[in-house]
Structure 1
């Protein structure tokens, strides 16, 4: 721990929209494949894979969006591949971390064809991340995500693209995702491919030393850690007064993850969207040798 009271944090962007790439000063810290696909494509992944299951009107809408690409799957893969290639080129050889889809089903409810995904009573703690990737119904969508990464890395030569895996609940799920990626031709370590874990759950922080045995690094999402550590629904305005990334319990979890990454000699990034409203957190991060934060 160092005394850095005079220092300031550096800020990197969470890439959610290709419009951000037009800004010459855009410094990308992390790409959200969830947000990018929603802003760029607007079609639910299940509707891309199983267009024939939609009613005639929506089938036509999907095909019109696909346009000259013909197949909706080709439209989906091609457009997102191009976006990742543009982002990777902007990094000029430095790593571009891409977080695979990990959002809950509610966030996809407004997308075209969302009726193909089952409604969940508690979507925030529902089928997300690795459990969703392993789900048979989702397998086609997962394969498309992998195809996007493979095209960007292999066909376009953007080998600086690295993966970040969201919502890894258990150590066994860590092994599962590494196997699932390998089945799709994305073998950790092959051609320099690095795979990181998104630390969103208290379990990820508490057992970070063990999770890091499966991954090349860790990305700590302080907001998500806070949501699960304090049991908050971030979309419920009535509970907004309780959201506090500077809470002692949250900082304890972050510290555990930081320490485990340092002990393992593996890179650690920090994400929080409320950093500008949290001066105490800014100071705390600097005191714990974190000088860069990813935010929107």
Structure 2
């Protein structure tokens, strides 16, 4: 839902669940593929892509979820495609930015079939984003995700769908991401496809001049920048007192990324889950000419 507070801010939502689209006043600022997979599919992507690797009992769970579809993969792709198409139509020809799956493995641990994904000692800084897309164990799942985007954009004509690539650690990974997408028929620039960088690692902000040539814009996640800049785990309740999106180090990172995007003439969006509780941050962003924030 778009809300305007007294400071002049406008807020848009992150689409995590298709139920949000039933709200006629909802304005989507960013689509989370991780969120949609959890809410609308409820099965681990690896279990959908490689059902035969599961036990017979687990295979039955996946097949029952797929219902009358010819295969679990067709159910998966069609279901997610339909959600993106509806969201893109609701956007009324404005860009609908879709964040590809970038959550850590712990996020998917409760999903049926999660045993197909390796358990990591430290998921927070493990196989995520581009490193996961490039990993052979994930490739079939990545292909399915790309198929969803292609169907929504090409078959259903939703050319306003744009991509946001998460967890890009290095410029080498930036190049890898663009190559992997191209291999799947999602070439940056083809048919107007725009690809943005999810600026969530300090390296993304500090080296934004190096990263931006690979992308059409930035989506700055202030919460994630704060998490990695201050060495926090947002799920660790004992560390909640340390979470501070208004920390000077975090704001310096955001400021540098904002300036770089402006200098390059590229679009820049900002994400903050805590913006409603951070009036000082709102004021700081307004002072830096940011008037719209993606939140929840």
TM-score by length of 1: 0.98
Structure-to-structure mapping, 1:143-292, within 5 angstroms: 143-292=143-292
For 2:277 and 2:233, how far apart are their aligned partners in 1? Answer: 19
Deviating above 4 A after TM superposition, structure 1's stretches of 4 or more consecutive aligned residues are none
- Structure 2, unaligned runs of 5 or more: 1-5
Deviates more, 1:164-173 or 1:69-78: 69-78
Question: Corresponding residue for 1:3?
Answer: none
Backbone CA RMSD of aligned residues:
0.6
Shift of 1:209: 1.1
Shift of 1:274: 0.3
Question: Corresponding residue for 2:95?
Answer: 95
Q: Secondary structure at the match of 2:158?
A: coil
Shift of 1:70: 2.6
Question: Corresponding residue for 1:295?
Answer: 295
Structure-to-structure mapping, 1:15-164, within 5 angstroms: 15-164=15-164
Shift of 1:7: 4.0
Deviates more, 1:64-73 or 1:162-171: 64-73
For 1:111 and 1:257, how far apart are their aligned partners in 2? Answer: 35
Alpha-carbon contact 1:63-1:70 (below 8 Å) kept:
no
Shift of 1:289: 0.1
Q: Secondary structure at the match of 2:220?
A: strand
Alpha-carbon contact 1:30-1:98 (below 8 Å) kept:
yes
Q: Secondary structure at the match of 2:270?
A: strand
Alpha-carbon contact 1:150-1:186 (below 8 Å) kept:
yes
C-alpha distance after superposition, 1:201-240 (max 9, x if no partner): 0000000111000000000000000000000010000000
For 1:126 and 1:15, how far apart are their aligned partners in 2? Answer: 25
For 1:10 and 1:138, how far apart are their aligned partners in 2? Answer: 37
What is the count of residue pairs matched by the alignment? 291
- Structure 1, unaligned runs of 5 or more: 1-5
